Amino acid sequence: MNTKYIILFVYFSILFLIGYFASKKIKSTKDYYVGGKQLNFWVVAFSARATGESAWLLLGLTGLGAMVGVSAFWVVLGEVIGVTVAWFFMAEKFKKLTDKYNSITIPDYLVSRFKSKTNTLRIVAATALSLFVVIYVSAQIDATGSAFESFLGWNYFTGAIVGFFIVLTYIFSGGFVAVAWSDLFQGLIMLIGLVALPIVAYYAISPEVSISQELVKLDPSFLNIWGEGGFNTLNVFTILGFMCIGLGFMGSPQLFVRFMSIKSTNEIKKGRWVAIVFTILTDVCAVLVGIFGRYLLTSIDANPETILGNGAQNVLPLLVEEIMPLTLIGIYIAAVLSAIMSTIDSLLVVASSAISRDFYQQIYKPNKSEKELAKISKIITLSLAIFALLVAMIVAVTSPNRTIFWFVIFGWSGIAATFCPTIILSLFWGKFNEKGAIASMITGFLSVPLFKFGFASLDSIGIYFEKLGELGPSFVLAIIVGVIVSKLSSKSLTISELNIEDAD
């Protein structure tokens, strides 16, 4: 037990040192929010991937692998496609435009892109971002409590609060620079830990055992890529739902702010391969951890959730305890906490920038000094974090059977459905206008709870929406509404211009 605490002490000490040295580079809000736009491709690629994966990867996706087997690889495929599209087709164009507009937040970029003359776009973007960030951060705090509980036997609430204060400490000191560099460090821990675990698990199984045969005994559908029941309509919807998770990589603010922070488009070309290889390795290994964990930790007659927890989300910590030397268990605790904290810190910085810059400075107090704005940003960061902590505590008490996988996905879907369609259309469709952008964001924002709680409860067809998830249909609907409103408002503008000419 002492070894675990020593390793964690070293891990947290490194985070605090990163925060301390990063604080020396903070001279302006541009430094605090996007690292002065001077970060290299290694830092940005690892930061983007560590932020994009979160507790969902180490606790959620490993659990999904343990529950459904190889059909969880559809999630991997969806993520790889999403990351590839973002880095190969969107990142360079987005970087050039944000540099041209001198943007340091996503609402900054949108306002400049549409030449907004009112504050409506800023208000909608900042409001949506703040609300779903609180949900997403609360899911990560919830995972922090579960991680401390699983690995160290701590009380859930104590673990959640301790993790919460650790993240706040280094965010406060170094802002985005601290976040990005800590993500590089934490991303390396995640990568090494995830790649090593299934390799060790494989060699822990007797060579005389046919793993595939044993897995089929545990669950006849475990090695069927289509899932239980094989190829059928319900499973097609399930697979689409898994793959749609990758849509969130195509414009989510907490990820695309990394493209703002990178030095140049040349760095993006180098970083794209780092990001893709990282995604493939970590996601594939996460599913394999779940599969091997299911074999090593459960038996034919046992309910896997009884042993591995809700959604099998404890499979990774239990497998680590089962097959890893005591001295390495602390490393895996750090890996799980890395996944969680790398997302919490990024989300809080993005949300505080939206409120302090896009609400407070740009709308109400444009003449505030850099020093005053930095102070206000920290107060807002603290306020958002405390609110997210309260949400996490309430959910933990009221929903004891929740799973980390779907708790995280709801927050992820809300941010993605609100911003990704708008970012995509703004980059690739010249006729997309401000009214279309506002309509698209509002549609995406409202559709997530609608599909999650409304359509999923309908008789006969509700099960299909439940399997499909909320992100895919919300995403598509937001794009359709954005296109229709842009076309209608452009046509309306043309008619009004003609009327003025006739009057003359």
Q: Can you give the pLDDT at residue 426?
A: 95
Among the ranges given (210-224, 226-240, 303-317, 356-370), the one the predictor scored with the smallest mean pLDDT: 356-370
- Per domain, the residue ranges of the chain are 2-113+121-405
Highest mean pLDDT among 31-35, 167-171, 262-266: 262-266
Q: Can you give the pLDDT at residue 503?
A: 46
Question: What are the distances in angstroms from CA 78 to CA 171, 302, 435?
Answer: 31, 31, 30
Q: Can you give the pLDDT at residue 174?
A: 52
pLDDT in tens, 9-54: 887 788 777 766 766 665 655 555 555 577 788 888 888 887 777 7
Number of C-beta neighbours around residue 245 at 10 A: 24
pLDDT in tens, 58-95: 888 999 999 999 999 999 999 999 999 999 999 999 99
| The token pair that represents 387 in the structure block | 């609110």
Average pLDDT on 168-184 reads 66
DSSP string, 152-221: H---HHHHHHHHHHHHHHHHHHHHHHHHHHHHHHHHHHHHHHHHHHHHHHHHHS-TTS-HHHHHHHH-TT
What secondary structure, in 3-state letters, does 26-70 show?
A: CCCHHHHHHHHHCECHHHHHHHHHHHHHHHHHHHHHHHHHHHHHH
pLDDT in tens, 359-401: 766 666 666 666 677 677 778 878 888 888 898 888 888 887 7
d(CA 380, CA 449): 26
Q: pLDDT-derived band of residue 500, with 50, 70 and 90 as boundaries?
A: very low
Residue 459 DSSP SS3? coil
Question: What are the distances in angstroms from CA 486 to CA 129, 417, 427, 499?
Answer: 22, 18, 14, 20
Q: Which pTM was predicted?
A: 0.85
d(CA 181, CA 179): 6
The CATH T-level fold of domain 2-113+121-405 is: Sodium/glucose cotransporter (1.20.1730)
Question: What are the distances in angstroms from CA 16 to CA 13, 100, 395, 502?
Answer: 5, 34, 29, 67
Q: Can you give the pLDDT at residue 366?
A: 65
What is the residue whose two structure tokens read 């991997």? Answer: 76
What sign results for the dihedral spanned by CA atoms 232, 235, 237, 243? negative
pLDDT in tens, 306-330: 999 888 988 998 999 899 887 788 8
Q: pLDDT-derived band of residue 273, with 50, 70 and 90 as boundaries?
A: very high
d(CA 44, CA 346): 12
**413: closest CA among 468, 332, 484?**
468
d(CA 363, CA 14): 38
Q: What is the radius of gyration, based on Cα positions, of the chain?
A: 23
Q: Can you give the pLDDT at residue 396?
A: 85
Rounded to the nearest 10 degrees, the angle between the axes of helix 404-428 and helix 120-152 is: 150
Rounded to the nearest 10 degrees, the angle between the axes of helix 156-204 and helix 315-323 is: 60
Number of C-beta neighbours around residue 453 at 10 A: 11
Q: Considering the chain, what is the average pLDDT of its residues?
A: 84
Residue type, 460: S
Q: pLDDT-derived band of residue 118, with 50, 70 and 90 as boundaries?
A: confident
d(CA 103, CA 78): 30
Q: pLDDT-derived band of residue 240, with 50, 70 and 90 as boundaries?
A: very high
What is the residue whose two structure tokens read 């990001």? Answer: 275
Name the DSSP letter for residue 432.
-
d(CA 373, CA 168): 18
d(CA 403, CA 296): 22
Q: Is 370 exposed, middle or buried (0-12, 13-18, 19+ CB in 10 A)?
A: middle
